[in-house]
Amino acid sequence: MSRLDEIPVRIMPAESAAGQGQALLHELAHMLDVLLREGRSGMIDLRALPLAAADFARLRAVLGEGEVHARIDAMGEASIVETGIPGIWWHTYRSHDGDIITEMLETTWCPDILNSQPEDVTSGLQRLREQLTGDAAPSIPAKEEQHA
């Protein structure tokens, strides 16, 4: 016997006895209702809950995947997917090594992290201006090329 799956002990039950997935789906329905009526966003930190694999499977099966798939490359990859239920977004943030560091469900019109951040826009604008100033000068190397 050399492989783990050959050991005849099933460590976890195939189905979660806790049924947390179902409870979360009810909570999400309530949060979506709040978003529609009051415009208030909400978030559930999936890592803070004692979820079994079966709970995740249930959530994924019911929510499915929708029209928007966004990928962020920032200190490790992050995927932000609108689920098949519009307004519910599944965030998965990974470290440089690819390990999941946070997993959340958000009810919102559009996740804020997808917006450009003012600080980044400011430094981007600065880089663009430097580029433009740099572009204005290269007429000199062009002349040198003519001499060559």
Partner 1 sequence: MRETLDQSLRRQGVSRRAFLKYCTALASLMALPPGMAPAIAAALGKAMRPSVIWLSFQECTGCTESLTRSNAPTLEDLIFNSISLDYHETLQAASGTAAEAAREQAMKAFYGKYLLIVDGSVATGLQGAYSTVAGVTNLDELKKVAAGAAAVVAVGSCSSFGGLPMAHPNPTGAVAVSDIITDKPVINVPGCPPIPVVITGVLAHFLTYGTLPETDLHRRPKMFYGETIHDRCYRRPFYDQGKFAHTFDDEGARNGWCLYELGCKGPITYNSCATLKWNEGTSFPIESGHGCLGCSEPKFWDKGSFYQPLSGGTWTDSGTLLAAAAAGVAVGAGAAVLSRARQHHAQEEK
Contact footprint for partner 1 (CB under 8 A): 9-13, 16-18, 41-43, 45, 47-52, 72, 74-76, 78, 91, 93, 95-97, 99-102, 104, 106, 112-113, 116-120, 123
Q: Give whichever of 82 and 107 is closer to partner 1, judged by the CB atom.
A: 107
Q: Give whichever of 10 and 26 is closer to partner 1, judged by the CB atom.
A: 10
**Token pair recorded at residue 58:** 């249930």
* 38-47: long-range pairs with CB below 8 Å, 24+: 41/106, 41/107, 41/108, 41/109, 42/106, 42/107, 42/108, 43/104, 43/105, 43/106, 43/107, 44/104, 44/105, 44/106, 45/102, 45/103, 45/104, 46/103, 46/104, 46/105, 47/102, 47/103, 47/104
Q: How far is the CB of 14 from partner 1 (least distance, A)?
A: 9
Q: Give whichever of 11 and 137 is closer to partner 1, judged by the CB atom.
A: 11
**Token pair recorded at residue 122:** 């400011």
Q: Give whichever of 51 and 81 is closer to partner 1, judged by the CB atom.
A: 51
Q: How far is the CB of 142 from partner 1 (least distance, A)?
A: 31
Q: Give whichever of 74 and 148 is closer to partner 1, judged by the CB atom.
A: 74
User: Contact at 8 Å (CB) between 69 and 81?
Assistant: yes
Q: How far is the CB of 59 from partner 1 (least distance, A)?
A: 15
Q: How far is the CB of 147 from partner 1 (least distance, A)?
A: 38
